[in-house]
């Protein structure tokens, strides 16, 4: 069933924040389209899906969103 636009927007934000926080995704600026389609988001998303044994699609499907919303351990930023 088509997802309501605001939910879609929330999901994009959730994915972006999760990948920045836990998969060292660099913030690619403000434009939503650039974020969603940028290669690095797809690549990091695949990394995350691979880690959790999900289907590696590079797309924020329902199973992936479910895992992203689960409480978890942080990864402190040692690099910087």
**Pair 60, 46: CB distance under 8 Å:** no
One of 12, 28, 42, 54 touching another protein (CB under 8 A): 54
According to the binding rule CB under 8 A, does residue 20 interact with another protein? no
Nearer to another protein, 30 or 70 (CB): 70
Q: Three-class SS string for 19-42?
A: HHHHCCCCCCCCCHHHHHHCHHHH
According to the binding rule CB under 8 A, does residue 63 interact with another protein? yes
**Pair 32, 14: CB distance under 8 Å:** no
One of 7, 21, 24, 27 touching another protein (CB under 8 A): 21
> Which residues are near another protein by CB under 8 A?
21-22, 51-55, 63, 67, 70-78, 80
């Amino acid at each position: 069933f088509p997802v309501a636009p605001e939910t879609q927007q929330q999901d994009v934000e959730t994915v972006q924040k999760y990948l920045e926080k836990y998969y060292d995704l660099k913030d690619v600026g403000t434009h939503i389209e650039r974020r969603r389609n940028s290669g690095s988001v797809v690549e990091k998303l695949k990394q995350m899906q691979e880690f959790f044994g999900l289907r590696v699609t590079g797309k924020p499907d329902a199973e992936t969103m479910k895992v992203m919303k689960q409480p978890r351990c942080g990864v402190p930023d040692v690099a910087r």
